[in-house]
Amino acid sequence: MKLNSLKQLLVLFILAICTWRLLHHQKHIPNDVYPYLLNLSPQLISECQTDAKSLSADAWSDLLAIRSSLPENESLYLTQQIKNKTPLIKLDWGSLDDNSRKIIRKRKAILVNYPYYMPLQYTFPVLGEVWYEDSFGSDREGGKRKHEGTDLFSKEGTPIISVCSGKIEQLGWNRLGGERVGIRGDDGNYYYYAHLQKISSELKVGDQIKKGEYLGAMGHTGDALTTPDHLHFGIELVNGEWINPYSFLVVWQSYSK
């Protein structure tokens, strides 16, 4: 009897450790992922996506991994093979050194595992004329805090939609955000839409939401009361870090042009 309960305790203990490790592992993001993704040029991404249109579903990531890692004269030999429908694993690397090959394979894996740039995987959050710039990290409240997102300016009432599918986690009023919607994306990130004039009455906390679904109308509520109408859009990663959504927005906007 005593031995049995000891065994049960041991099993529980092992289970707890496994669960903790699993959860912890999911929150761990390798250091090189976001610096790479956020510094890619939207122009280069768009060129690779256009060139890959008639190729396999992930050829854009092969082209992008190669072109973002090598100068153009060195990448040409490899990108020509991709355009002739040779997959990355079967490339003739020519005289390219081992380290460069390793970097290209690693970057390809990042682009596929964190598919922000996969064509049409995400969508742009504002429907209509819009103006925005990269203001991530600029001072707010006289330097008391930093701006943790991108402000997208348009007319009051302009429709705001969800950039991805997920589940509604936060809804309604908070001091800074005013009328805000927080969505836990299927990718695990938290997507934050703030200062809305009005949230769609169809939405409830816990609801599943699809990419492109209507969230509400643009406004200037919360701490945006004295500013022009805009959507504050933020992305918080699973590890609690807010990242700069600017490059993603530029690329997602290009799909609707």
Instruction: Give the residues lining the site for Zn ion (CB under 5 A).
Output: 151, 232
Which of 144-179 are b and which e, b meaning 16 or more Cβ less than 10 Å from the residue's Cβ? eeebbbbbbbbeeebebbbbbbbebeebeeeeebbb
Q: What is the DSSP letter of 155?
A: -
Q: How far is the CB of 196 from Zn ion (least distance, A)?
A: 13
Whichever of 32 and 139 has its CB closer to Zn ion, that residue is 139
**How many separate helices (H) and strands (E) can be counted in the chain?**
7, 13
CB closest to Zn ion, residue no: 232
Q: How far is the CB of 234 from Zn ion (least distance, A)?
A: 8
In this structure, what token pair is assigned to residue 29? 């993001």
Give Cα 94 distance to the centre of its chain. 34
Whichever of 67 and 232 has its CB closer to Zn ion, that residue is 232
Q: Strand, coil or helix: what is 51?
A: helix
Q: How far is the CB of 208 from Zn ion (least distance, A)?
A: 27
Q: How far is the CB of 143 from Zn ion (least distance, A)?
A: 15
Whichever of 180 and 232 has its CB closer to Zn ion, that residue is 232
Whichever of 60 and 132 has its CB closer to Zn ion, that residue is 132
